């Protein structure tokens, strides 16, 4: 039998769309899971994507990728490479696995929901591959840290983090539940695949893959590069969904979905990728600052896409650009102060050379943040370790669940009273997101709400750490055992000379 | 006696703190309780009295939380009152954390 060219059979074999006679459309595609956005069923059948991969090709490609990745892992497992890695880089990858392994697994459910409730056969087909991709990403990112457990027990947090009440895990569960675990297919295509996977995941995975290679962590670089090739494909579910919404006059709804998740994605990536890029990655191996990465990978790309699709930049764009200069520096300082509540050892990353780099990349850094680190270094040199810890909780936002940091003197957090409860927000966009759908978010309790409601016992800082599930052996400390602080007086003398 | 949780910032610091005070605490005590978490940890001490600002108004040092009508989860800001600086103390701009000019 002659073999047809793929283009001759692909659409026919894939597009198994039909009109229902025996059940109502709303029974097959309940709005809660599918969200038609008011677009009639048949119109969705025009949904199309550019990859048009067959299952046979998919399996062949994935098998080759798996073989390549696991070969690298096997070779490196015997090489003792991990011991040679910089302590800051170790922090970056231990943090990464705790943050990403379980969400990759959870994203399987999101993709599967699109695979069942996506409103076009072409989309469901693509989402099936996405489902298989996410199973693979979850397995990879559990398997790799598992192989390193004998070198560093805290790789266990790749699996453990999301099963605890560690404050970052609470923040990430809130974000990822909103984005895919509890999202409808149409909103998810835009919020997960368009906003996060084509935008922020690019930043984190491509940026860190490049940094990993520079640092000599071939294993991590190979792993996340392999994952990113899948992401590039299944992330294509967002754009056709957006185009369809735009064609049917649903620009306002599309814009709202983007504006909500762009802000949420920004806050999370500022917390996670910002410190890893500007503080944990060894100075000699930093190619771009976090801000430069954002400008190159996020802002340019989104600007182009917004223009191409006829969308606007999110209404808070100017505020977002301002935050590029300070937010992740503040969050890094907060992470370091709260290091016993982390499952990794944060690298302060403020040696004399690193401070100069930070000032060069972020003019004004010395005045805004260097003074804090000076006081911290003084305490360390004097042996006042207790003063380098925080004995109370940082207030967190009731939307992003991230500490409420302030760029300006006297800028109070935003507060809203609803049904007798006070909600606190770090910023206008976080408040706006809450007010878009209060019923969706109102029931959630932040770590502060839980503390005040008596869920954390004893109600002190030791009780808080226990509540977060961190044993004393797991609690983070400074990645370089404070060497940066001890070098400072000598360096200061040198600079005077 | 009732515990009042406050959202507190010390002026010049970078983050909002949860600080538990008592409704009988005076503003002087409130300022001390908030400063405990910031001064000598991230900011240097200054030789000037501390003030508590609530609803854009500096409160008298001897006024209590209850008298000021401060509710749970209210936002307060503490700052050094430079007008009443006792001596020529340091402020953040002249603090030696700033790198030396080359």
pLDDT at B80 over 60: yes
Q: Give the tens place of pLDDT for each residue, A315-352.
A: 999 999 999 999 999 999 999 999 999 999 999 999 99
What global pTM score does this model have?
0.93
Nearest to A92 by CA among A320, A335, A298: A335
Nearest to A188 by CA among A145, A144, A238: A238
Q: Give the tens place of pLDDT for each residue, A130-155.
A: 999 999 999 999 999 998 998 899 99
Tell me the mean pLDDT in the region B3-11: 97
CA separation (Å) from A300 to A203, A295, A297, A419? Answer: 12, 6, 6, 42
pLDDT at A409 over 70: no
Contact B98 A330 (CB under 8 A): no
DSSP H/E element including A299:
none
Instruction: Average the pLDDT over each of A40-44, A213-217, A469-473 and give the range with the smallest value.
Output: A213-217
Task: Establish if B32 touches chain A: CB-CB under 8 angstroms.
Answer: no
pLDDT at A252 over 90: yes
Contacts of A373 in chain B (CB under 8 A): 97
Domain that holds residue B9: 3-78
Contact A410 B11 (CB under 8 A): yes
Task: Establish if B57 touches chain A: CB-CB under 8 angstroms.
Answer: no
Nearest to B83 by CA among B49, B55, B53, B54: B49
Residue located via tokens 């990879």: A140
Predicted local confidence at residue A410, as pLDDT: 60
Exposure string for B51-70, b = 16+ CB within 10 A, e = fewer: bbbbeeeebebebbbeebeb
Q: Give the tens place of pLDDT for each residue, A179-211.
A: 999 999 999 999 999 999 988 877 677 777 888
Tell me the mean pLDDT in the region A469-496: 79
Tell me the mean pLDDT in the region B34-43: 97
Contact A413 B73 (CB under 8 A): no
Higher pLDDT, B51 or A235: B51
User: Which candidate from B5, B19, B92 shows the least CB-CB separation from A371?
Assistant: B92
Predicted local confidence at residue A329, as pLDDT: 97
Contacts of B5 in chain A (CB under 8 A): 452
Predicted local confidence at residue A1, as pLDDT: 56
> Does residue B28 lie within any of the structural domains?
yes
User: Which candidate from B11, B14, B102 shows the least CB-CB separation from A330?
Assistant: B14
Q: Give the tens place of pLDDT for each residue, A419-454.
A: 999 999 999 999 999 999 999 999 999 999 999 999
Task: Establish if B40 touches chain A: CB-CB under 8 angstroms.
Answer: yes
The complex scores an ipTM of 0.92
Cβ atoms of B27 and B61 within 8 Å: the answer is: yes
pLDDT at A491 over 90: no
Residue located via tokens 């503390």: A451
Instruction: Average the pLDDT over each of A441-445, A446-450, A459-463, B91-95 and give the range with the smallest value.
Output: B91-95
> Does residue B9 lie within any of the structural domains?
yes
> Pairing relation of β-strands B75-80 and B3-10?
parallel
Q: Count other Cβ atoms within 10 Å, centred on residue A437.
A: 12
User: Which candidate from A392, A404, A412 shows the least CB-CB separation from B37?
Assistant: A392
Extract the tokens encoding A39. Answer: 């677009």
Predicted local confidence at residue A488, as pLDDT: 60
Predicted local confidence at residue A212, as pLDDT: 83
Q: Count other Cβ atoms within 10 Å, centred on residue A435.
A: 14
Instruction: Average the pLDDT over each of A11-15, A229-233, A264-268 and give the range with the smallest value.
Output: A229-233
Contact B75 A367 (CB under 8 A): no
Predicted local confidence at residue A220, as pLDDT: 85
How does residue B85 score in pLDDT terms, banded at 50, 70 and 90? Answer: low
DSSP state for residue A298 in the 8-state scheme: I
> Does residue B91 lie within any of the structural domains?
no
CATH code of the domain containing B60:
3.10.20.270
Residue in chain A closest to B76 (alpha carbons) equals A412
Average pLDDT, rounded, for chain A: 92
Contact B17 A394 (CB under 8 A): yes
| Number of structural domains found in chain B | 1
> Does residue B13 lie within any of the structural domains?
yes
CA distance, residue A467 to nearest chain B CA (Å): 17
Q: Give the tens place of pLDDT for each residue, A47-67.
A: 999 889 999 999 999 999 999
Predicted local confidence at residue B12, as pLDDT: 94
> Does residue B102 lie within any of the structural domains?
no
Residue in chain A closest to B15 (alpha carbons) equals A405
Test mutation, A333, A392, A394, A460, chain B, max B CBs within 10 A: A392
Predicted local confidence at residue A483, as pLDDT: 94
> Does residue B27 lie within any of the structural domains?
yes
Instruction: Average the pLDDT over each of A270-279, A298-307, A429-438 and give the range with the smallest value.
Output: A298-307
User: Which candidate from A374, A404, A422 shows the least CB-CB separation from B73?
Assistant: A422
Domains of chain A: 14-324 (1.10.620.20)
Predicted local confidence at residue A2, as pLDDT: 65
Percentage of chain A exceeding pLDDT 90: 76
Predicted local confidence at residue A478, as pLDDT: 97
> Does residue B63 lie within any of the structural domains?
yes
Contacts of B14 in chain A (CB under 8 A): 330, 333-334, 369, 372, 405-406
Report H helices in A338-417. Answer: 352-361, 365, 371-381
Cβ atoms of A131 and A254 within 8 Å: the answer is: no
> Does residue B52 lie within any of the structural domains?
yes
Residue located via tokens 């990353």: A349
Contacts of A422 in chain B (CB under 8 A): 72-73
CA distance, residue B73 to nearest chain A CA (Å): 7
User: Which candidate from B5, B37, B77 shows the least CB-CB separation from A390?
Assistant: B37
**DSSP-assigned states of every residue in chain B:** --EEEEEEEETT-SB-EEEEEETT-BHHHHHHHHHTTTBTTTB---SS-EEEEETTEEEPTT-BHHHHTPPTT-EEEEEE-GGG-SS----GGGSTTSPPP-
């Amino acid at each position: 039998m002659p073999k047809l060219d793929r283009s001759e059979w692909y659409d026919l074999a894939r597009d198994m769309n039909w009109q229902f006679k025996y059940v109502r459309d709303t029974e097959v595609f309940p709005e809660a899971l599918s969200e038609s956005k008011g677009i009639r069923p048949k119109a969705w059948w025009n949904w199309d994507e550019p990859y048009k991969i067959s299952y046979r090709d998919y399996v062949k490609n994935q098998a080759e990728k798996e073989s390549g990745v696991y070969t690298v892992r096997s070779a490196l497992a015997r090489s003792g490479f991990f011991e040679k890695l910089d302590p800051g880089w170790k922090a970056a990858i231990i943090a990464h696995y705790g943050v990403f392994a379980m969400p990759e697994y959870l994203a399987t459910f999101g993709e599967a929901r699109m695979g069942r409730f996506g409103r076009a056969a072409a989309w469901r087909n693509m989402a099936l591959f996405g489902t298989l991709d996410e199973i693979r990403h979850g397995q990879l990112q559990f398997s790799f840290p598992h192989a390193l457990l004998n070198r560093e027990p805290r790789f266990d947090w790749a699996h453990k983090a999301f099963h605890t009440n560690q404050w970052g895990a609470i923040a990430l569960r809130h974000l990822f539940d909103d984005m895919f675990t509890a999202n409808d297919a149409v909103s998810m295509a835009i919020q997960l695949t368009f906003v996060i996977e084509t935008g922020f995941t690019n930043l984190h995975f491509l940026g860190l893959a490049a940094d990993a290679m520079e640092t000599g962590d071939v294993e991590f670089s190979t792993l996340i590069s392999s994952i990113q090739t899948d992401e590039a494909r299944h992330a294509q579910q967002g754009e056709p969904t957006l185009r369809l919404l735009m064609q049917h006059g649903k620009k306002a709804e599309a814009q709202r979905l983007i504006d909500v998740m762009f802000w949420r994605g920004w806050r999370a990536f500022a917390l996670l990728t910002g410190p890893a890029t500007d503080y944990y990655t060894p100075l000699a191996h930093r190619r771009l600052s976090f801000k430069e990465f954002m400008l190159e990978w996020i802002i340019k790309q989104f600007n182009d896409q917004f223009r191409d699709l006829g969308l606007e930049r999110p209404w808070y764009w100017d505020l977002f650009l301002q935050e590029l200069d300070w937010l992740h520096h503040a969050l890094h300082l907060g992470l370091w102060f709260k290091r016993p509540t982390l499952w990794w050892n944060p690298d302060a990353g403020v040696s004399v050379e690193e401070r100069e780099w930070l000032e060069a990349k972020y003019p004004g850094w010395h005045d805004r943040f260097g003074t804090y680190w000076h006081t911290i270094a003084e305490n360390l040199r004097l042996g006042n370790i207790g003063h380098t810890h925080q004995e109370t909780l940082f207030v967190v936002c009731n939307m992003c669940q991230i500490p409420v940091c302030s760029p300006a003197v006297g800028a109070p957090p935003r507060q809203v009273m609803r049904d007798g409860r006070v909600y606190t927000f770090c910023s206008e966009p976080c408040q706006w997101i809450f007010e878009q759908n209060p019923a969706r978010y109102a029931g959630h309790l932040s770590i502060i709400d839980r503390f005040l409601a008596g869920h954390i016992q004893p109600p002190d800082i030791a009780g808080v750490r226990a509540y977060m599930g961190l044993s004393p052996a797991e609690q983070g400390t400074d990645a370089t055992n404070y060497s940066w602080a001890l070098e400072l007086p000598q360096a200061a003398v040198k600079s005077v000379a | 006696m009732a515990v009042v949780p406050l959202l507190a910032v010390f002026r010049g610091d970078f983050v909002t703190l949860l600080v538990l005070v008592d409704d009988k605490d005076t503003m002087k005590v409130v300022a001390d309780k908030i400063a405990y978490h910031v001064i000598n940890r991230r900011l240097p001490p200054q030789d000037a009295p501390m003030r508590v600002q609530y609803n854009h108004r500096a409160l008298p040092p001897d006024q209590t939380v209850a008298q000021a009508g401060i509710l749970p989860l209210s936002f307060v800001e503490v700052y050094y009152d430079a007008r009443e600086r006792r001596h020529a103390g340091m402020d953040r701009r002249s603090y030696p954390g700033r790198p030396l000019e080359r």
